[in-house]
Structure 1
Amino acid sequence: MNSNDFDEIVSRTLAIRQQYHQLEVQHHSSEWTVEEDALAYLTDAGLVGRNVMSQQQRWPKANTQEELTHKLGENIWWLIVLAERSGIDIKKAVNDFLTKTEALF
Structure 2
Amino acid sequence: MEINELTNRSRKIRATYHQLELKQDGHAWTSEQDALAFLTDAGLVGRMVMANQGSWPTGNVDSPLDYKIAECIWWLSTLADSNKIDLESAIAKFLDSREKDLK
TM-score (normalised: structure 1): 0.89
Equivalent residue number for residue 74 of structure 1 = 71
Structure 2: stretches of 5+ with no match in the other structure: none
CA distance in 2, matches of 1:102, 1:40: 31
Per-residue deviation at 1:47?
Answer: 0.3
3-state SS in 2 of match to 1:88: coil
CA distance in 1, matches of 2:4, 2:31: 22
The size of the alignment, in residue pairs, is 101
3-state SS in 2 of match to 1:44: helix
Equivalent residue number for residue 85 of structure 2 = 88
Per-residue deviation at 1:7?
Answer: 1.5
RMSD: 1.5
Structure 1: stretches of 5+ with no match in the other structure: none
1:36 aligns with 2:41: no
1:57 aligns with 2:65: no
Contact 2:18/2:28 (<8 A) preserved: yes
CA distance in 1, matches of 2:76, 2:60: 25
Identity among equivalent pairs (%): 47
CA distance in 2, matches of 1:70, 1:14: 18
Per-residue deviation at 1:62?
Answer: 5.9
Equivalent residue number for residue 24 of structure 1 = 21
Query: Which structure carries more helix by proportion?
Result: 1
44, 49, 73: which one aligns with 1:47: 44
Per-residue deviation at 1:10?
Answer: 1.3
Q: Call closer, same or farther: CA 1:55–1:63 in 2, change over 3 Å.
A: farther
- Moved beyond 6 Å, runs of 4+: none
